[in-house]
Chains A and B, each alone.
Chain A
Amino acid sequence: MAESLVALHRPSPWHSFRAGMWLGWQIESNWADPWVFTIYAVLRPVSLAGILVVMYAAITRGAFDSPVFTSMYLGNAFYIYVGAITSGMGWAVVQDREHYRTLKSIYAAPVMVPYYLIGRGVAGLVTASFSVIVILTLGVMVLGLGIGPGTVEWPLLAAGLGFGVMALAFMGLAVAGIMLLTGSESWALGDLLAGALYLFSGAVFPLDVLPSALRPIGLVLPVTYWLEVIRRALIPGDRGASALAAWTDEGVLALLAALTAATAIGAMTLFRVCERRARQRGLIDRTSNY
């Protein structure tokens, strides 16, 4: 009996992840009825895509069949995952600690906090995926993007998405670790990281447009290779980002896998260090006039 109780309460990564994901989804979605939530979930990303479309149309008079536009549109669409996962995890720490004031209870419960936080971040994946699908559908139907189920390289897309989501989740974990040490004044840390990734990964423009001094930053980010893999999977033969044009699909994927692994190790280490310091300084349950 005692052994089974111990087994019952032993924290596992999967249970912690699942609990975090379920809670994250509830917090994100249960404030409105499904229709209102659907409109809300789609409105922001579609507007962001709309800004780029109008900017592009203002200059090129609507030359949407250009590979530059396709690359920009796809990068912007899939970038939604970056904001949803990375910012979401940092924000989860502030929410749990200062708004709901449950972080100390979570630490006291049989929960593996890093996996719980990754679950909180991944909860945004569902909403983000829905937005991405809507934006891609609009792109194909309204703007004539040449993407179709028959032309997509599905294995490459699945592998790219898998590694990409993992990389984003671990980046979010790093942000969450830093947020454990800072007050609510650092609320925008996740947004800042997401913004920097938007800029340096060449999400909406070829990396070559960046000043040469800034280009190396983009070349060490997993998001750069992730977006490149996605573009190549959706538009086979596309080599829009000329900085990576010489690489084969397998080469880009391998680099993405390696950078994801490096991000995972770095993020876990950083989170552990930050978490230990937060415990030592008694910061787990502090509030900073949220």
Chain B
Amino acid sequence: MAEQQAAILKPETLVEEFKKNGVTHVVTVPGSETNYLYELMRAQPWLDIIPAASEAQTFAIAFGLMIGKKVPICLIQNTGMLESGNSIRSHVLDSGWPFVFFVGYKGWTRHGATPESVARYTEPFLNAFGITYYLVEHDADGPRISLAFEEARAKNRPVAVLIGDEYHGFNR
């Protein structure tokens, strides 16, 4: 049980990774269970939180922030990502700038059977756009977030981080 607890993805780990990679703004539509992460982010004086009314907005707002040379990320859920295809195309693919966005992997079970269709379409959606992604499920996966930033900077492209721990990590 103790080992299981230690494996849980901690919101603090995400926030540390954001800081390490110079993130200035989080543009977000909350996912299913992100409230603790949201409160933690709001408590960071170096981080601006921008609540958006739709996921498509988050990518366009982030694009505007990047014009002003800030380092935004988007934090959304996979359901909203599916809604955001044209905004992703225009604002983060066509811009050709390094950019990382975080996607709550709703419905991800890791056990083969994936009853929620949104989970089944998540990775094919990213593949269709040619967006590479890193899966983060446990606290030990935290460094993969820095890998995503490194890849985005090296290739001047968007990179996604799929948060596959929807039901544990963000709410206490």
Q: Do A and B bind? A: no
Q: Which residues of A approach B to under 8 Å, CB–CB?
A: none
